[in-house]
């Protein structure tokens, strides 16, 4: 089955700096890569996703890049703000008979210091 | 618009007691439904998924079971809870591969 590794496990930055979280996956058939943000005690919320037919996607201060050859993808947050502090999860999935089953990374605790 | 409801929000149960967590989805038909568990605030583990009424697939062997009695209803159960069943349980739905949305979760503490 799919295995997703996420690094770093914790990340501390100053407000205004950039933050980068990286994930690698094992299943070359995976073609959908979402990122979720989870605030303390709340549900994970989808913040951005990318499909295997593109290499990069951007939404305001958040961007995701995908390298299918190397089987890794990354989340980039620019101009970080204290409200960006949360746990971030990457995930991978493939179509066909997988019915949207997502395999998650272990999460990154991001702390943005004012 | 689609919404997902999950209850209860918190639950404290003694070891050996039964469990029933319910999840319902509104505003969509024939969704794929999932139960995840999150221990210690990190790492989501897929427990069960269902692609239709009465169709349940288990991802990991455990003390829990799932049922889907109606198209938009997904239930997580246990006959006898263990201490290790404590965690944050999340229901999720999707239509096809995309649009994966989580419920608000149930924090279960087994004492």
What average pLDDT score do residues B9-32 get?
93
Contact A7, A19 (CB under 8 A): no
Size of interface A-B (CB pairs under 8 A): 50
Identity of the residue in A40, A46, A101 whose CB atom sits nearest the CB atom of B46: A101
Strands B87-95 and A19-25: unpaired
Strands A108-113 and A62-67: unpaired
pLDDT tens, position by position, B75-93: 999 999 999 999 999 999 9
CA distance A26 to chain B (A): 17
- Window A:44-73, CB contacts with B under 8 Å: 44-46, 49
What's the confidence (pLDDT) of residue A101? 80
Q: How far is CA B60 from the centre of its chain?
A: 13
pLDDT tens, position by position, A87-107: 999 999 886 555 568 889 999
Which single residue is written with the structure tokens 């709340």? Answer: A42
Q: What would the 3-class secondary structure string for A2-20 be?
A: CCEEEECCEEEEECCCCEE
* In the predicted structure, residue B30 carries a pLDDT above the cut 90: no
What average pLDDT score do residues B55-61 get?
85
Contact B91, B102 (CB under 8 A): yes
What's the confidence (pLDDT) of residue B43? 83
Torsion sign over Cα B107, A88, A44, A113 = positive
pLDDT tens, position by position, A38-88: 998 899 999 999 988 789 999 999 999 999 999 999 999 999 999 999 999
What average pLDDT score do residues B21-46 get?
88
Using pLDDT thresholds of 50, 70 and 90, give the confidence band for residue B98: low
Task: For residues B24 and B9, give the distance between their C-alpha atoms in angstroms, rounded to a whole number.
Answer: 14
A103 inside 8 A of chain B by CB: yes
What's the confidence (pLDDT) of residue A102? 86
State the best of A100, A101, A107 to mutate against chain B, taking most chain B CBs within 10 Å: A100
Paired with B58 in beta bridges are: B48
**Nearest C-alpha neighbor of B34 from the set B7, B57, B11:** B57
What average pLDDT score do residues A13-37 get?
95
Using pLDDT thresholds of 50, 70 and 90, give the confidence band for residue B41: low
Task: For residues A40 and B20, give the distance between their C-alpha atoms in angstroms, rounded to a whole number.
Answer: 24
* In the predicted structure, residue A2 carries a pLDDT above the cut 90: no
- Before B8, cis peptide (omega within 30)? yes
Binary contact (A100, B98; C-beta < 8 A):
yes
Q: E strand or H helix at A55, and its extent?
A: none
Task: For residues B24 and B26, give the distance between their C-alpha atoms in angstroms, rounded to a whole number.
Answer: 7
């Amino acid at each position: 089955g799919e295995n997703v590794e996420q690094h770093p496990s914790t990340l501390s930055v100053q407000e205004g700096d950039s933050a980068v979280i990286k994930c690698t996956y094992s299943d070359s058939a995976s073609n959908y890569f979402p990122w979720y943000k989870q605030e303390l005690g709340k549900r994970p919320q989808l913040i951005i996703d990318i499909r295997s037919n593109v290499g990069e996607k951007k939404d305001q201060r958040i961007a995701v890049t995908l390298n299918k050859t190397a089987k890794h993808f990354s989340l980039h947050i620019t101009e970080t703000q204290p409200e960006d502090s949360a746990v971030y999860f990457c995930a991978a999935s493939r179509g066909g008979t997988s019915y949207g089953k997502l395999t998650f990374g272990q999460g990154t605790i991001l702390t943005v210091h004012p | 618009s689609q919404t997902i409801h999950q209850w209860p929000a918190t639950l404290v149960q003694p070891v050996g007691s039964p469990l029933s967590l319910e999840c319902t989805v509104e505003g969509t038909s024939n969704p794929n439904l999932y139960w995840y568990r999150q221990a210690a605030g990190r790492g989501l583990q897929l427990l069960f998924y269902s692609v239709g009424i009465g169709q349940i697939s288990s991802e990991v062997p455990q003390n829990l079971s799932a049922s889907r009695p109606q198209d938009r209803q997904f239930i997580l159960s246990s006959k006898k809870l263990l201490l290790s069943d404590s965690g944050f349980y999340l229901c999720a739905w999707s239509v096809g591969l995309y649009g994966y949305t989580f419920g608000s979760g149930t924090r279960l503490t087994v004492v």
